[in-house]
Amino acid sequence: MTIVPTPVGNLEDMTFRAVSVLKEADLILAEDTRTSSVLMQHFGIKGRLLSHHKFNEHETASMIRDRILAGEKVALVSDAGTPGISDPGFLLARTCAAEGIEVQTLPGATACIPAVVSSGLPCDRFCFEGFLPLKKGRQTLLKQLSTETRTMIFYESPRRLTATLEQFAVTFGPDRECSVAREISKLHEEHTRGTISEVLEHFKVTEPKGEIVIVVAGLHQEGRREHRNKYKTDDEGQA
């Protein structure tokens, strides 16, 4: 099975190898066949499309595994970017790997890497958090990340962006550096950089639109020591 990244914006980001693999596939698994059919038509790819998304992947994974074992060439794409990165793909990859089926992922488009590299924040070490939980576990996770020293990457919807930045201001502090990347690789790509409070104020007056990636600076070592000392002092005061 081959996992094939597709452009997150500009169709010219599609690789020659990706087109070749999709043309040779007997079956192409697509998150949304309507979206993927546009890409296939653009590159003259005539392979059969089959829906494979988060609502049916548990039911279709074993069937797809059997078809691969029977000798079919299967490729997996998502609506945009690399399958498995906040998109369907993990379950099928695990199912195939458990059967000894070779799973190959082509290098290609994903929104998180351009966002962190363009942010101006350290990108030698970073952690990818994807979409935060909407309710259960959200506060617990944010508390854990409050002492993370690596640059952090989050995906978010435009309608929840300001609320999330408000939470970040409380959790990480309003003066923590961040960058919000919008519409990566598309005509209206935009990067808004500054402190969390500055970026928040920008989007309070400028309605966010399109695909959003938030990049937040990690806690500096000096800040980490101050954080530990604060809680140590608080604990001693309570004792």
- Give the whole-angstrom CA distance, residue 121 versus residue 215: 8
Q: Which residue has the tokens 């299967």?
A: 74
Assigned token pair, 235: 């604990």
- Give the whole-angstrom CA distance, residue 74 versus residue 235: 57
Task: Return the amino acid letter for 1.
Answer: M
Query: What's residue 129's pLDDT?
Result: 96
Paired sense of beta strands 104-105 and 177-182, if any:
unpaired
Query: What's residue 220's pLDDT?
Result: 82
- Asked if 4 and 108 count as a contact pair (C-beta separation under 8 A), the reply is yes
Query: What's residue 17's pLDDT?
Result: 97
- Per-position b or e across 109-135, b if 16+ CB within 10 A of its CB: bbbbbbbbebbebebeebebbeebeee
Helix (H) or strand (E) holding 14, with range, is: none
Query: What's residue 236's pLDDT?
Result: 44
Cα first-last separation, the chain: 59
pLDDT tens for the 239 residues of the chain, in order: 999 999 999 999 999 999 999 999 999 999 999 999 999 999 999 989 999 988 888 888 889 999 999 999 999 999 999 999 988 899 999 999 999 999 999 999 999 999 999 999 999 999 999 999 998 999 999 999 999 999 999 999 999 999 999 999 999 999 999 999 999 999 999 999 999 999 999 999 999 999 999 999 999 834 444 444 544 444 444 44
What single-letter DSSP state applies at residue 81?
A: B
Q: What is the dihedral of CA 91, 92, 97, 102, to 10 degrees?
A: -150
- Give the whole-angstrom CA distance, residue 38 versus residue 191: 28
Q: In what order do the strands lie in the sheet with 48-51?
A: 48-51, 27-30, 74-77, 2-3, 104-105
- Give the whole-angstrom CA distance, residue 206 versus residue 203: 5
Query: What's residue 58's pLDDT?
Result: 86
Assigned token pair, 229: 């000392």
- Give the whole-angstrom CA distance, residue 33 versus residue 220: 45
Angle in degrees, 0-180, between the axes of helices 57-69 and 90-98, rounded to the nearest 10: 40
